[in-house]
Structure 1
Amino acid sequence: MHTNKHRKQIKLIFNPASGAAKKASLQLIDIIKELQAWRFVPEPFLTEPDTDYAGVVADAIEQGIRMLVVCGGDGTVSAVARAMLGTNTVLGIIPTGTQNNVALSLGIPSDIRSSIALLRTGKNVKIDIGMVTCGDNTMPFLEVCSVGLFSALFQSGDDIQHGDITRIGEFLTTLTTSNPSKISLLLDNKHEIQDVGHAVLVSNMPYIGRQFRVGVDGAYNDGFLDVMFCADVPKLDLMVGYMLKKLKNPTTEISRIKQYKVRNLVIETHPPMPVMIDGSACKEGTVRIGIRRRALAVMTGEIAVDTSGKSEGKN
């Protein structure tokens, strides 16, 4: 017991379906015990597929809770982060998902005890949030916005990673039948790039996909988005590099992948390609992407690089 710490009430948002779902009940008990050892007073909330995260965050704030701790994977973390935008709250992460790219990017340890310790010993850093506009709808993203092939493959690929092998046929059919589109990028309102390709990936984090590195440490608060434009690269090469992580440096080993750092961009595809924002589908068509600087406070680990010009202090 860390008796030198003051008791602190937190909202514990637990996704029982993330990671090893069969062990969820035992895992939750262990997490609560470890949080209590660090003098946290957790109020647990178990997520469901239709959870109203904005309502969960609002209820926590009404109770005077200022730290919301997500125990789950990237999808749950991103959903809670979206709901926390514009509030005076701090996000904590206990990574229990499949990939845990957000935790990896923020220097949060993968084991539960160390990630809980970080809620006390880590650094409170304000990070950037990407903003995507499709039609009349604007949606924040924490990790990645994808346009094209990876968006089309996301749902079946995600289900396969979680053990549903019945989706393999659908995944392969989509992969083999998808065609490239004419893709136009307008970078920072001045540079226009046009080519034929399968996908565009726009990342706010150093790691996306299957822990596929696209940015430098601290990319989440450098004021820029990392763009990977997959021009007419063979689909098999993309899958090997992105999903199987066989390429150590994909942007040099596949010369037709073009990489940019931008503050904003516009993506147009003909014919239209599917769009995904942190795993959520968006309307096809013109995509406008920007960034909100230092929009979300998060407890981060040692790898985190604070480029905001000031330390947010320890908690």
Structure 2
Amino acid sequence: MKTVDTKLPPQRVKLIFNPGSGANDESPLQIMAVVKEMQARQLIPELYLIEPDSNLQEVVDEAIAQGIELFVVCGGDGTVSSVTKALYGSAATLGIVPTGTRNNIALSLGIPTDIAAAVAILSEGQRLKIDLGLVICNGVSTPFIELCSVGLFSTLFPAGDDIQHGNITRIGDFLGILTTAPPSDIHLFLDDNQEISELGHAALISNMPYIGRNYKVGAPDAYHDGLLDVMFFADLSKLDLINYILTGVGTDNPEDPRIMHYQVREMVIDTEPAMAVMADGISLGEGSVRIKVQPQALSVMVGATASHEGQ
């Protein structure tokens, strides 16, 4: 068993815990384990439990004003994304103890789901500056750490996410959307003056190598290469798209040649009729969007298996 250096100076940490992530009945044990491991490493957690009406921006701003520099998120991708938005523009550092359903962000950054190993990264890992994406939709700018989607995936996500978390009453809603959603004329304007126009149902813009059900869609260093990965599902049927949701894109399954791949620093997407836009699971409305990368916009504690090239 590895001996923890208790001579390290104590460090105040804001521990933001989402009791609704993963298996809810495990939350009490998880939080006890996290606090115990942090205290053993001279990390002094100031605990905040997320509730439905929580204002994380206020929580983060108040903690920064009190001199806290490390914010540890204990939850899934949605919780990590929410805290990321609150930290955007600050000099604070994000730590992650993944307890969610998919944990794509932690997987991408080399952070294990084992609580002791994840907490160890907070004191023994590397502080790395990673990229974020920024979506401008309807005049509002929204940062994202994992994924922006335009089209059918955005429309299906709320019902699909409820079903994945056990609410089978949303199956009817999911099938209804799938049956009635029309394709749109989708126009991509890329930052190399390239324009693509196709009839289709969806486009995905990723900042992380893993999305969805842990599907690998980008290079290991996708989160700090200064680029966003674009997947344009041109002229695929809705059944084709659902098949990819179930079997994965970028896995060992042969990829449909109709899927177009691009890397961009900035792009504009116009759709007619207007399609739904979502960033990290949050609806941003419908219409034209401008998406651009924000290089090295967030400091994160990452694991040894994360890709650090170029740092």
Q: Do the aligned partners of 2:249 and 2:255 also contact (CA within 8 Å) in 1?
A: no
1:291 aligned to 2:293? yes
**Alpha-carbon distance between aligned partners in 2 of 1:53 and 1:211, rounded to the nearest angstrom:** 26
Q: 2:112 aligns with which of 109, 114, 137?
A: 109
Matched with 1:278 is 280
Where in structure 2 are the equivalents of 1:53-202 lying within 5 Å?
53-188=56-191, 190-202=193-205
Structure 1 residue 88 displacement after superposition: 1.6
**Alpha-carbon distance between aligned partners in 1 of 2:65 and 2:153, rounded to the nearest angstrom:** 39
Q: Do the aligned partners of 2:229 and 2:264 also contact (CA within 8 Å) in 1?
A: yes
| Cα RMSD after superposing both structures | 1.4
Q: Do the aligned partners of 1:14 and 1:47 also contact (CA within 8 Å) in 2?
A: yes
**Alpha-carbon distance between aligned partners in 1 of 2:248 and 2:212, rounded to the nearest angstrom:** 9
Structure 1 residue 247 displacement after superposition: 6.6
Q: Do the aligned partners of 1:9 and 1:41 also contact (CA within 8 Å) in 2?
A: yes
Q: Do the aligned partners of 2:146 and 2:208 also contact (CA within 8 Å) in 1?
A: yes
**Residue aligned with 2:268, SS:** strand
Percent of paired sites with the same residue: 53
Where in structure 2 are the equivalents of 1:34-45 lying within 5 Å?
34-45=37-48
Q: Do the aligned partners of 1:108 and 1:301 also contact (CA within 8 Å) in 2?
A: yes
Q: Do the aligned partners of 1:189 and 1:264 also contact (CA within 8 Å) in 2?
A: no
**Structure 1, 26-35 or 219-228: larger mean CA deviation:** 26-35
Q: Do the aligned partners of 1:181 and 1:196 also contact (CA within 8 Å) in 2?
A: yes
Q: Do the aligned partners of 2:15 and 2:48 also contact (CA within 8 Å) in 1?
A: yes
Amino acid of the structure 1 residue aligned with 2:197: Q
Structure 1 residue 65 displacement after superposition: 0.8
Q: 1:234 aligns with which of 234, 237, 258?
A: 237
**TM-score normalized with structure 2 length:** 0.95
Q: 2:21 aligns with which of 18, 24, 47?
A: 18
**Alpha-carbon distance between aligned partners in 1 of 2:249 and 2:221, rounded to the nearest angstrom:** 24
**TM-score normalized with structure 1 length:** 0.94
Structure 1 residue 172 displacement after superposition: 1.4
Structure 1 residue 249 displacement after superposition: 4.8
Q: Do the aligned partners of 1:189 and 1:265 also contact (CA within 8 Å) in 2?
A: no
Structure 1: tracts of 5 or more residues without a match = 311-315
**Alpha-carbon distance between aligned partners in 2 of 1:188 and 1:49, rounded to the nearest angstrom:** 39
Structure 1 residue 243 displacement after superposition: 3.5
Matched with 1:305 is 307
